[in-house]
Amino acid sequence: MGFRRIWHLLRGGRRRPTSAQMLRRAQRLRDDGRFEDAAELVAEALIRVPGSVVGHLLAGSLHMTLRETEQARTSFERVLALEPTHPRALLGLARIALEEGQHGACRDLLARALARYPDFPEARALLDVARGLAASPDARPPATAGADSARAVAPIAPRITAPIESEAAPAVAAAPAAAAPPQSAAPADRLRLPSESREALFMRPDATLLFAEPRGPRTEAVAARAVKLARIATAVLARAGFGPLRHAVIEGAAETTYLRADDAALLTLAFDRDVTAATAVAHLERVWGRCRSELA
């Protein structure tokens, strides 16, 4: 033993780090934002200790950060195989379920996490959002959105009755009759949509679509996404001590979406990126005023 230590010192070598040391170092690397380096170290540690809860949890967290959802799911599931009520792994899987529109599964996972660890503010905050999404169909695939659109589009305000002419009309007409969504009924001319607008959606807070221009087979799914986004944003604003969501601006790669909302309705207008914010907001307010008076 003494000889080995002397030999080690003479060689100037260092003792091989333990898996716990490797994971601690990986955690520090993650905190410094060196995610790939951290992930490599965690993978190495897990080869040595495949049953490490901390290792799999850290791996899940790093996969999420690197936007590797499937690998993150696998890591969190491995944690639960080792420790079935681990609250952080349950939270991780709940986040993935929420991203995928599996709102029921998300609620169940969060409830399990809170049953184990009631003082878990992140889980409680996400559960509030997931509960608010209870009415939304779980993981509704966009391609089949038209099938249940009769329920989603039916209740139209009395004055919004005329069928719209949509850019998407040929695509809708070409679809099988059973899958074709019914026409939403607000007259585009009465709402006087700006010519620069690439897309307009007007809906109730439960995602019931009142008007869409253009309209296509995925319109209901887009509306449901907009409502989900608005609910999460409202939760963020509430946590920040502000009131409910009223306006939003979302810059995309090709276009910018402007959103206007109150307790009864939500409107989104999408414009090309070259339309100025001032112009877009002015259009948004005008269309919002007309939409709200149509609803009144």
Asked whether 248 and 258 are in contact (CB, 8 A), the reply is yes
Stretch that binds another protein, among 46-54, 167-175, 243-251, 284-292 (CB under 8 A): 243-251
Q: Which is nearer to another protein, 184 or 217 (CB)?
A: 217
Near another protein by CB under 8 A: residue from 139, 150, 249, 282: 249
Stretch that binds another protein, among 6-14, 63-71, 154-162, 204-212 (CB under 8 A): 63-71
Pairing of strands 255-261, 209-213: unpaired
- Does 87 sit near another protein (CB under 8 A)? no
Q: Which of 127, 48, 38 is nearest to 91 (CA)?
A: 127
Q: Which of 155, 236, 235, 167 is nearest to 203 (CA)?
A: 155
Neighbours of 102 (CB within 10 A): 18
- Does 236 sit near another protein (CB under 8 A)? yes
What residue has token string 């260092």? 14
Least distance between another protein and beta carbon 222 (Å): 5
Report CA Rg, the chain. 25
Pick out residues in 191-230 that bind another protein (CB under 8 A): 199, 218, 221-222, 225-226, 228-229
Pick out residues in 260-279 that bind another protein (CB under 8 A): 268, 270, 277
Q: Which is nearer to another protein, 7 or 242 (CB)?
A: 242
Q: What is the DSSP letter of 182?
A: P
- Does 166 sit near another protein (CB under 8 A)? no
Q: Which is nearer to another protein, 60 or 186 (CB)?
A: 60
Pick out residues in 120-159 that bind another protein (CB under 8 A): 121-126, 129, 142
Asked whether 210 and 160 are in contact (CB, 8 A), the reply is yes
- Does 285 sit near another protein (CB under 8 A)? no
- In whole angstroms, what is the distance from residue 150 CA to residue 168 CA? 18
Q: Which is nearer to another protein, 22 or 120 (CB)?
A: 120
- In whole angstroms, what is the distance from residue 54 CA to residue 75 CA? 10
Strand partners, 258: 249, 269
**HSE on the CB side for 274, CA within 13 Å?**
1
- Does 89 sit near another protein (CB under 8 A)? no
Q: Total binding residues for another protein by CB under 8 A?
A: 57
Asked whether 220 and 208 are in contact (CB, 8 A), the reply is no
Q: Which is nearer to another protein, 190 or 292 (CB)?
A: 292
Stretch that binds another protein, among 10-18, 167-175, 184-192, 244-252 (CB under 8 A): 244-252
Which helix (H) or strand (E) segment holds residue 15: the answer is none
What's phi and psi for 108, nearest 5 deg?
-60, -45
Instruction: Taking each helix axis as running N to C, give the angle between helix 53-65 and helix 35-48, from 0 to 180 degrees, rounded to the nearest 10.
Output: 150
Stretch that binds another protein, among 5-13, 17-25, 93-101, 206-214 (CB under 8 A): 93-101
**Coil, strand or helix at 121:** helix
- Does 237 sit near another protein (CB under 8 A)? yes
| Binding interface with another protein (CB under 8 A) | 31, 33, 35, 60-61, 64-65, 67, 72, 91-92, 95, 98-99, 121-126, 129, 142, 199, 218, 221-222, 225-226, 228-229, 232-237, 239-253, 255, 257, 259, 268, 270, 277
